[in-house]
Amino acid sequence: MKNVSMLAALATAVAFAAPAYAQLPSIPGMKQKEVEKLSKSDISKEMLLKNGDIDKCKEEQKKKDPKVTGTFAARFRVDTNGSPTDLKIVDAKLQGTAFGQCMERTIKGWQFPKAKQKSDNYDLAASF
């Protein structure tokens, strides 16, 4: 019964934090509403939920070289299946660093809501 209460609390919290169309993959039986095309605003809202992933990359970099600073800039699109695609590193200053490598792996592993069409380019910048 305790797990049901935790699941209900989590579902309520996510419902307020996530866009209305967002899929809740941890709750079986819940279906995602497929939109025509994710807008930059839709992706930005999803990115709020992914800030922790970026923070993990920052922490990894600080362990290896605490003096490194800069901005990581990338551009990607979201495919119809919700996966990031067409990833390009725009600003290569941190490319090759632990932060840059972590960000590339992280972005490739993200999942966004499905849509009928591929999104337009989305620009991401992470300062450090």
Q: What local confidence, expressed as pLDDT, does residue 69 receive? A: 82
Show me where the domains of the chain are located: 1-33, 34-127
Lowest mean pLDDT segment, chosen from 27-31, 72-76, 103-107, 117-121? 27-31
Burial of 55: CB neighbours in 10 Å, binned 0-12, 13-18, 19+ = exposed
Q: Which of 77, 102, 75 is nearest to 91 (CA)?
A: 75
Tell me the pLDDT tens digit for each residue of 1-13: 444 344 344 444 4
Q: What local confidence, expressed as pLDDT, does residue 25 receive? A: 43
Tell me the pLDDT tens digit for each residue of 51-108: 999 999 989 888 988 887 888 899 999 999 999 999 998 876 777 778 888 999 999 9
Q: Are 29 and 81 in contact (CB under 8 A)?
A: no
- DSSP for residue 79: -
Q: Is the pLDDT of residue 30 over 80?
A: no
Q: 34-127 adopts what CATH topology?
A: TolA/TonB C-terminal domain (3.30.2420)
Q: What local confidence, expressed as pLDDT, does residue 48 receive? A: 92
Q: What local confidence, expressed as pLDDT, does residue 98 receive? A: 82
Q: Are 73 and 54 in contact (CB under 8 A)?
A: no
Q: Which of 73, 106, 102, 115 is nearest to 90 (CA)?
A: 73
- Report the amino acid identity of residue 84: P
Q: What local confidence, expressed as pLDDT, does residue 6 receive? A: 42
Q: Within 13 Å of residue 97, how many CA atoms lie on the same side as its CB?
A: 26
Tell me the pLDDT tens digit for each residue of 84-99: 999 998 876 777 778 8
